[in-house]
Structure 1
Amino acid sequence: MSSNNSHILSRRAFIRNSSLAGGGLVIGFNLFQACKPKVIAEPAIDLSTLDYNDFNAFIKIADNGAVTIFSPNPEIGQGVKTSMPMIIAEELDVAWKDVYVEQGILDTENYTRQVAGGSQSIRQGWDALRQTGAKARHMLVSAAASRWGVDPSECTVSDGVITNAAGETLGYGEVVNEAALLEVPEEVELKHPKDYKIMGKDATNVDIEKITSGKPLFGLDYKADGMVYAAVVRPPSFGHKLVSYDDSEAKGMPGVIDVVTIGEKVRSLLAEDPGFSSKISSSDKVVVIAETTWQAFKAKEAIKATWEEETPMESTEQHDEILTALLDGNDFNTMRSDGNVKKAFAEADQVLERTYESPFLPHNCMEPMNFFANVTEEKVHLAGPIQTPAWKAGLVAKMLGREEKDIHLEMTRMGGGFGRRLYGDFVIEASEISDKIKKPVKVVYTREDDMEDGIYRMAIKYRIKAGVKDGKLTAYHLKEAAVNDNMYGLIPNFFPAGAVENYQVDAASYDSNITTGAWRAPYTNFLAYAEQSFFDELAEMMEVDKIQLRLDLLQNVKGTTDERIQYSPERMEEVIKLAVEKSGWGTKPAGVHQGFVNYYCHNTHVAEVADVEIENGEPVVKKITCVVDCGIVVNPTGALNQIEGGVIDGVGHSMYGELQFKDGKPTSNNFDGYRLIRMKEAPVVETYFVENEHTPTGLGEPTLPPAGGAVANALKAATGNRLYKQPFIKSPELLKVPEKEIIG
């Protein structure tokens, strides 16, 4: 099965990245096409004994047959360090147990999009990674055929062993030197999915042994000779700047090396890069340098800093009023407008309008923010957990007045990211501190630092209005009002775009000094709940079946020539029908209340059904049935981990997640005051994949957004009450359980 996808690796790029190294074939792939590779399986041989040069994104085949794949992109827990090498190994036709993976460093010459974000790794790398493996296999087989004096078509290969018609065999390692000298083919035949031996089979996370045994792997584990630790005294709230400080007590504490301030270089950077300016404070900060993290933390508490208000300090109540005023006003950016919604509403027999509200949310990664920097005259050495290494390296170069080639950045595995590690303010801090103290240093945040001086999911309100004429949905108007949504990220071309003749999407934003940014499944993480809850209520008003309303709307999109539409009505219809079947929709016994949603985001179609029961007078989410169409599933185990994690995260934050502000400061700064879902509250997640041969799509984010809507609709079925505000646990309607349910 050959591919005509535009992401196929070019012959020139393939040749440019192919060479002899250490007696082995080195095959590179451009990550503009191969978006994000990653893998690590323990080899049977000692790789330290092999004579390898420095590589980037390459397949390395040693003369003993060992295969190594460098992973150039950040591993954030999404599993691409396992699944992407599986793709190469499949087409290369080697045994997965013989594959070893190493984490690459930042290399902007050989790689592009070294990014962890958007659930795009497998999707964008699919064709190039397959081509890489298949072309290497072709060259190895050709080398063996030449040695035997036979035609390559007479040879077969399996698990890295080439066999000719006479039954003779050669391992990849035996012909790798000869293969490296051959011309790279223009096109090679790719495997058909029915012939896959690695993809579609469960593979253990390649880092699992290190994770479970506590071996150095994460940013907090990173150490370097002479390294010191830094803890930063930050403004007490958004809107404050440093006036003065007293460090006399701190300097006398055990292990304290120095106390310095930073901020000047950051301010110059912010002037150069306005796109980064809303993600980091421009105020001076006090930094304690110590021999250990704990000593730095304790001395930080002894710093007596004086601050003054620089900009107005904001509170949740103000945001609530401002967002409501935006929805009521006319200052919108129209993102899509089909037909004439105003006229359609004027002619409608029925009109339904509802407003939905969501709060700020912190990311709360398990591993607090941290980063290592060592700024010297020769180079700037950076290391740690970061989702956007190239962006941060460029910013550091700007801030320090260095060439980007001077920046050497190593990526560690991340203990969570969810968008928080896209921005890398901690990278900037570490670099400025090291430049000032002339020592290698690691900045480490406390949990309080992370929550009080974070980059949060923005607070948003959605207002949705629908018009019905002669029993048909004829008008749909979606309005967004958000804090700091200057990019207008609301999605205008997802369902029900194209399904309603008169359709309009508008967005408005309020600029706040509270830093906000991407949070897992940006925008859709709340929008899915609002829209899908609205569709259920709309169906009730129209007195039609909830599922049938969605299916009928999809019929309007089939055969569309509108290239703006991003979802497939046929694939959406399939996940809906399979979810109805697998969840037992409408057939559950009394006392089990169900809520349905369907959603598309990150190129993946999902349908979810929540089962809610009443226990001790309170509704409890017992189960989520999740149907996913993500195309070919490369690693089922990894896919299930992403799906289940996304669903539980979606349930937990819609039920409990909320961060409020008072006078520019979060009212919660640790887990004793911020509510997360608990293990006993996590529902059973039952997952089903739609089997097809479509190119793989995203999985790290698509199952989170629908979860809140499924739960909201199930809670309506259980209590009779609609919920219009997250978190649900704060809604008084949640506990208004019908008497018959309490008795039952």
Structure 2
Amino acid sequence: MATTIKTNRRDFLKIAATATGGLLIGFGWSSCDTPKVQVLSTEEVLAKAHNFNSFLSISPDGDIVIYSPNPELGQNIITSFPMIVADELDADWKKVRVLQAPLDNQRFERQLTGGSGAMPHSWERLRKAGASAKYLLLSAAAAKLEVPQEELYAEESMIYHKNSKKKISYGELVMDAAALEIPEEVPLKDPKDFKLIGTPVKNVKNKEMFTGQPLYGLDVYKDGMVNAMIQRAPFGMKIKSVDDAAARSVKGVLDVVVFKNNVAVVGSTTWPLMKAKRMLKIEYEPDGAVESTFDHDRLFAEMLDAKTAQIMRQDGDVDAAFKNAAQVITAEYQCPFLPHAPMEPQNFFAHVKEDSAELIGPTQTPDRARMETARLLGIPVENITVDITRLGGGFGRRLMADFVVEAAELSKILDKPVKVTWSREDDNTGGGYRPAVRYRFSAALDEAGNMIGYKLRGAGMNAGNTTRENNFPSGAVPNVLIENVNHRSTVTTNAWRAPITNFLAYAEQSFLDEVALAAKKDPVAFRLELLKKAKNEPVGQLGYDVDRMIGVVEGAAERANWGKNANVKQGFSVYFSHRSYVAQVADIEMENDQPVLKRITAVTDCGVVVHPTGADHQVRGGIVDGMGHAMFGNLTFENGMPKQRNFDSYRLIRMKEVPEVNVHYLQTPFEPTGLGEPALPPTGGAIANAIYAATGQRLRAQPFIEQKEYSSLNLQIKRA
């Protein structure tokens, strides 16, 4: 049965587009004036439209163009967004062309990639756009064929009359459709009638990627452009003196520029710049602004033992619960700083003129890039354009705009277009890391093994709130105290894939296993027991849907044959983040008395799965990323600089170290939620709990390979 959704005629722009005529619909969710139908060029159409989330255009020859506003960094939003529009439109997918839209706050909403929020934000909007366009086309067809509209149906960019079998193409109807008004209510498809949504559609940019077409920021080239690479000061330090004589002598170097706390070498190509940058002789001194020590063990101990902390949640009488407990379990878990390490290092192009600027490159937050550039240059925001290239990864690092501002500032200094490119060493040492955090957990059990008290204190380095105080097991325990302590460090931090939950989930889920063991309960049964308490006797605010979490817990246990094979030692983990629920089971088998990690089974509830291929890539990628960083990733500092400067010393997971990964989805009726991040948080806990089940060694710190408990395990990884 079709659903309807209220709309407003002022929400839409209908224009006959291009010199030969056609229908263009801009769709957005704040009111705008609908201009009269005109024949316009594409440039004129884009100039007149405003307040829209995206554009859908249909030409008289039937070609369909859909503009995708959000930056594409591998999450495949540039394919899944148009799929939603095209499905409601009943378009012929072979005739759909997808273009990346530039930054334009007047036309587009939430034009960013971060927080796994693009799909939940745009799902209804995109459906509404396709359905509205189809309604106009059906209305135009009814008038042209002189039949009632309810006797018509659409399929693959054609409209058919059920009785007479007459048919007419979308292209033949666009001019008539552009003259019609959109009603207050537009029918949407029943999900059972989806044709594209839920099918494995190929990435719309496959051909360009496979054939090496210029898609990425590193591919940008403009006439008159120079290249620049920058040496940045260590954390807590400032430049005292610079000797650039040797660097200037390198062939291909055009200039050396000192600005703020940076030294830039400028030239025609990047290769001589990399050589010249190593030849700079720079003397630094402490900047005195903030502490510059890196004794993190001492700092963490002080924060965890501090008499005062920010209380994030307090339920019941925690002191009484722990005083009267039959058993108290306490443990600490620690995670290090980590770089984002996208395969494409940071880069950006800028051309600053007298009262305007052109920016081109890979950014997750193009509006932030523009705003910070405007603030730096002191020019109006509307005088700055931002074209978004495909991103070669981001993981949160490209939410920042430091690399954009560098390019803009250098362009202004040099009075010419410039592209700033970071090396891998620059990327690893340039800051914006995942915060380092240590957690102290305590649980109080009664004589029956029920958890009657729960305490968590998080201590973070520039981490803000290190907790997710309303997440499970909050709401399932009668007495809860969750606290946070944050330390201002010279090390700059930033959102890192699944912020906070990427390490909190590992610590929390490992600790819950410790509590289950102390209570002499099966880890899955223990979690289900807590969830049922949260459902039947909730305490305080619940930040999660209990039934959906129970669904993935039971689903993962069933699909992984939890506890049914004595030869398989298993670890369990479940987490809710970014509106989605993921449970995972890691399987370890003993071979020649050595533990072998064979497989990870994941069950996800993200509502409607729009693009199964893309979803599969996101879940598998999140698991591999979560596993790799839990087991191997680490940054340590010396004199304000990370020791791990490149991939020879910063350890990433290797292809041969990835076990079999089995991915499943619960078929639930909820609107789709994010998938770029939710599969990562549970992975570390599932693996750590499996290692304990197999060896009796509890790993309470990341990376696993650097813990003394791990060194004797000789853990191997094989595909089952």
**Do both share a fold (TM > 0.5)?**
yes
1:575 aligns with one of 527, 552, 555: 552
The aligned residue for residue 343 of structure 2 is 366
* Counterpart selection for 2:84 from 82, 87, 93: 87
2:150 matched to 1:153?
yes
Structure 1 Cα separation of the partners of residues 204 and 317 of structure 2:
54
Check the 8 A contact 1:9/1:30 in 2, yes or no.
Answer: no
1:499–1:553 Cα contact (<8 Å) kept: yes
2:669 counterpart residue number: 693
SS in 2 for 1:188: strand
Aligned residues: 696
Which one of the candidate residues 392, 396, 399 is aligned to 1:415?
Answer: 392
Match in the other structure for 2:49 = none
Find the counterpart in structure 1 of residue 312 from structure 2: 335
Q: CA offsets, 1:337-383, max 9 Å, x none? A: 11121121112111111110111111111001000000012520000
| 1:98 correspondence with 2:76 | no
The residue matched to 2:403 in structure 1 has which SS?
helix
Q: 1:122 — aligned with what?
A: 119
CA distance 1:31–1:286, shift in 2 (3 Å): farther
The code of the aligned residue for 2:186 comes to: V
Residue 454 of structure 2 is matched in structure 1 by 476
Counterpart residue number, 2:379: 402
| Residue 537 of structure 1 pairs with residue 520 of structure 2 | no
Shift of 1:454: 2.1
Q: Which residue does 1:134 correspond to in 2?
A: 131
Distance 1:158 1:400 in 2: 52
In the alignment, residue 581 of structure 2 is paired with which amino acid?
Answer: H
> CA separation in 1, counterparts of 2:409 and 2:553?
52
Note if contact 1:363-1:420 (Cα within 8 Å) is conserved in structure 2. yes
Residue of structure 2 equivalent to 1:347: 324
User: Following the alignment from structure 1 to structure 2, what is the Cα–Cα distance between the partners of residues 563 and 101?
Assistant: 46
Judged with a 3 Å threshold, the aligned counterparts in structure 2 of structure 1 residues 459 and 10 are, in CA distance, closer, same or farther, namely: farther
Stretches of structure 2 that go unaligned for 5 or more consecutive residues are 32-40, 47-51, 716-720
> What amino acid does structure 1 have at the position aligned with 2:462?
N
Inter-partner Cα distance in structure 2 for 1:571 and 1:612:
27
**Given that residues 15 and 45 in structure 2 are in contact (C-alpha distance below 8 angstroms), is that contact kept between their aligned partners in structure 1?**
no
Deviation, structure 1 residue 489: 4.8
> Corresponding residue for 1:72?
69
CA distance in 1, matches of 2:460, 2:215: 38
Report if aligned partners of 2:595, 2:714 keep a CA contact under 8 Å in 1: no
Amino acid corresponding to residue 188 of structure 1 in structure 2: V
CA distance in 2 between partners of 1:64 and 1:354 (Å): 67
Q: Secondary structure at the match of 2:671?
A: coil
Q: Deviations over 1:476-512 (max 9, x none)?
A: 11110000123x1521111112111111211101100
Paired-residue identity, %: 45
Confirm or deny: 8 A CA contact 1:617 1:737 kept in the other structure: no
| Counterpart contact for 1:719–1:734, Cα < 8 Å | no
| CA–CA distance in structure 2, aligned partners of residues 501 and 2 of structure 1 | 44
Question: Aligned to 1:518, which of 495, 514, 535?
Answer: 495
Partner SS for 2:456: strand
Look up the SS of the partner of 1:610 in the other structure: strand
Matched, 1:261 2:238: no
Partner SS for 1:360:
coil
CA distance in 1, matches of 2:692, 2:370: 49
Separation in 2 of the partners of 1:615 and 1:366?
35
Alignment partners' CA distance in 2, 1:580 and 1:175: 53
Find the aligned partners of 2:193 and 2:492 in 1 and give their Cα distance.
Answer: 50
Give the match's secondary structure for 1:413: coil
Q: Which amino acid aligns with 2:106?
A: E
Q: How many angstroms does 1:617 deviate by?
A: 6.1
> Aligned residue for 1:426?
403
CA positional deviation for 1:205? 1.2
Q: How far apart are 1:560 and its partner, in Å?
A: 6.9
Structure 1 segment 604-615 matched on structure 2, within 5 A: 604-614=580-590
Q: Deviations over 1:230-274 (max 9, x none)?
A: 011211x211111221222322321222221222xxxxxxxxxxx
- Residues 26/438 of structure 1: CA separation in 2 closer, same or farther (3 Å cut): same
Distance in 1 (CA, whole Å) between partners of 2:306 and 2:27 is: 51
The secondary structure found in structure 2 opposite 1:259 is strand
CA distance in 1, matches of 2:109, 2:240: 43
> Could you tell me how far 1:665 is from its partner in structure 2?
1.1
Gaps of 5+ in 1: 34-49, 264-283, 740-744
Shift of 1:470: 3.7
Structure 1 letter corresponding to 2:168: L
The TM-score with structure 2 as length reference comes to 0.93
- CA distance, structure 1, for counterparts of residue 28 and residue 368 of structure 2: 18
SS in 1 for 2:114: coil
Tell me which residue corresponds to 1:20. Answer: 16
Report the 3-state secondary structure (helix = DSSP H, G, I; strand = E; otherwise coil) of the residue aligned with 1:325.
Answer: helix
Given residue 99 of structure 1, which amino acid in structure 2 is its aligned partner?
V
1:384-395 to 2 correspondences below 5 Å? 384-395=361-372
User: Would the alpha carbon gap of residues 419 and 291 (structure 1) be closer, same or farther in structure 2, given more than 3 Å must change?
Assistant: same
Cα distance 1:656–1:399, how it changes in 2: closer, same or farther (>3 A)? same
1:110 aligns with 2:87: no
C-alpha distance in structure 2 between counterparts of 1:104 and 1:724, whole Å: 45
Given candidates 249, 266, 269, the residue that maps to 1:252 is 249
Change (3 A) 1:4 1:659: farther
Q: Which amino acid aligns with 2:458?
A: E
C-alpha separation between the residues in 2 aligned to 1:498 and 1:462? 20
Q: How does 1:565-714 map to 2 (within 5 A)?
A: 565-590=542-567, 592-614=568-590, 618-714=594-690
The 8 Å contact of residues 458 and 466 in structure 2, kept in 1 or not, is answered as no
Q: Aligned partners of 2:215, 2:272: CA distance in 1, in Å?
A: 23
Measure the CA separation in 2 of the matches of 1:342 and 1:287: 57
Partner residue of 1:199?
Answer: 197
CA deviations on 1:451-493 (whole Å, 9 max, x unpaired) are: 112211011001111111242211111110000123x152111
Give CA deviations for 1:65-102 in whole Å, capped at 9, x if unaligned: 11101111100111111101100001011022211100
**2:545 aligned with 1:549, yes or no?**
no
Write out per-residue CA displacement over residues 565-606 of structure 1, whole angstroms, 9 at most, x where no aligned residue: 22111111111111111111112252x321011111111111
CA RMSD of aligned residues (A): 2.0
Q: Please state how far the C-alpha of 1:563 moved relative to its aligned partner.
A: 8.6
Match of 1:357 among 321, 334, 345: 334
| 1:502 paired residue number | 479
The structural deviation recorded for 1:735 is 4.0
After superposition, the C-alpha distances for 1:589-638 in whole angstroms (9 at most, x for unaligned) are 52x32101111111111110001234576533221000001111011000
* Aligned amino acid, residue 220 of structure 1: L
Structure 2 distance, partners of 1:299, 1:660, is 27
CA distance in 2, matches of 1:31, 1:405: 21
Tell me if structure 2 keeps the 8 A contact 1:478–1:504. yes
Cα distance, 1:562–1:128 mapped onto 2, change above 3 Å: farther
Of residues 704, 708, 713 in structure 2, which corresponds to 1:732?
708
Distance 1:31 1:73 in 2: 16
Q: In structure 2, what is the Cα distance between the partners aligned to 1:577 and 1:442? A: 52
The SS at the match of 1:173 is helix
Counterpart CA distance in 1 for 2:562 and 2:93 is 40
CA contact (8 A) 1:419 1:519 kept: yes
Does the CA-based 8 Å contact 1:315-1:662 persist in structure 2? no
Q: Does 1:234 align with 2:232?
A: yes
- Asked whether the equivalents of residues 32 and 113 of structure 1 are also in contact (C-alpha less than 8 Å), the reply is no
Q: Which residue is equivalent to 1:453?
A: 430
- SS at 2:435's partner residue? coil
Evaluate the alpha carbon distance shift between residue 112 and residue 461 of structure 1 in structure 2; reply closer, same or farther with a 3 A threshold: same
Q: Tell me the alpha carbon deviations over residues 104-160 of structure 1, each in whole angstroms, 9 at most, x when there is no partner.
A: 000011112111101111111111110111011001100111112222111111011
Distance in 1 separating the partners of 2:240 and 2:405: 22
SS at match of 1:189: strand
